[in-house]
Amino acid sequence: MSEDVPVIETKRLTKQYGDVRAVDSLDLAIESGDVYGFLGPNGAGKSTTIGLLLDYLRPTGGTIRVFGKDPQRAPVEIHNRTGVLPDRFGLYDGRSARQHVSFVAETKQVDDDPEALLERVGLANAVDDNAGEFSKGMEQRLALAMALVGEPDLLVLDEPFNGLDPHGVRRVREIVHEENNRGATVFFSSHVLGQVELVCDRIGVLHRGRLVAEGTVDELRDAAGADDDAVMEDVFVELTDAPIEAGGESR
């Protein structure tokens, strides 16, 4: 896929909830082919930003373009080209993993093989099992398989490493690489710093709704005034001035 406009572009994007400014004048430009890690402590505004990009939420200020289109005006076109792993999702009790993936394929009008996708995410042995009885990690793997349906041009993954064992974490990293090699742009949020460092070309650090730093891992180390060999956790804490596990504070 080659695009002459950024795949995702926001200008002064703002979302206010009462007294809380969840997203505050956010400028993002994610280019075609990027693997972009959206990093920030709990409550920083990552999921809200993703909700705005996909028109699940409406902004209170600023502009958004995805593939050059306004999500409020072209939601179907954007969703047809995008695979989404949401932060919260529901699975249907009594329906198999295969049925979940087939449902997305039908919605997107593509003929992907559900079994092959489930195998890719490590669920080969659970293809016909009831998704309602899946463990947290299995749910996460199934949701990722659903996001991969239709070879999307853009993958938006909200905390893709949540609930995964080390095998699952490695598999997600491999899948991100494979999808990127295929030509997909990948935008994912995380506070799993080590994973972000291993997978991303560029990282944006969000803190209290604002982008406080952006760049490669090395550029972020510089921005934080950290040593060349500083681990990402130190850089993160320095930039966000908050312990990683602190969360949900109002502002």
Residues that bind ligand ATP (CB under 6 A): 17, 20, 22, 40, 42-48, 87, 191, 247-248, 250
CB of 5 to ligand ATP, least distance (A): 26
CB of 87 to ligand ATP, least distance (A): 6
Q: Look at the alpha carbons of 96, 138, 155, 71 in this order and tell me if their dihedral is positive or negative.
A: positive
CB of 159 to ligand ATP, least distance (A): 7
What burial class does residue 63 get, using C-beta atoms within 10 Å of its C-beta: 0-12 exposed, 13-18 middle, 19+ buried?
A: exposed
Q: Is the CB of residue 239 less than 8 Å from the CB of residue 213?
A: yes
Nearer to ligand ATP, 166 or 248 (CB): 248
Residues whose CB falls within 8 Å of the CB of residue 159, separated by 6 or more in sequence, listed in order: 87, 188, 189, 190, 191
CB of 55 to ligand ATP, least distance (A): 15
37-58 burial by CB neighbour count: b if 16+ within 10 A, else e?
bbbbbebbbbbbbbbbbbbebe
Nearer to ligand ATP, 106 or 249 (CB): 249
Nearer to ligand ATP, 47 or 82 (CB): 47
Nearer to ligand ATP, 38 or 134 (CB): 38
